[in-house]
Amino acid sequence: MNRIILITIATFVLASISCSKIDKLTQFDKNYSYETTIKSIVGINLPFDIPTPVIKTNLSEDLEVNNSKKDLIEKAIVKALKVTITNPEDGDFSFLNQIEIFITANELPKEKVAFKYDIPNDIGKVLEMDLVPSLNLEKYIKKDEFTLDITIKTDKILLHDTDIKIDATFGIDAKILGI
* pTM, entire model: 0.79
Per-residue pLDDT tens over the stretch 9-61: 545 544 454 444 455 556 889 898 999 998 887 567 777 777 777 777 666 66
Which architecture characterizes domain 2-174 according to CATH? Answer: Sandwich (2.60)
User: Phi and psi at residue 121, in whole multiples of 5°?
Assistant: -70, -20
Sequence ranges of the domains in the chain:
2-174
What does DSSP assign to residue 158?
B
pLDDT per position as a tens digit, 107-163: 999 999 999 999 999 999 999 999 999 899 999 988 888 999 999 998 888 888 999
For 19-161, list the strands marked E by DSSP: 27-38, 47-50, 54-56, 73-87, 96-105, 108-116, 126-128, 130-131, 145-154
Instruction: Quickly count: other Cβ atoms within 10 Å of residue 100's Cβ.
Output: 18
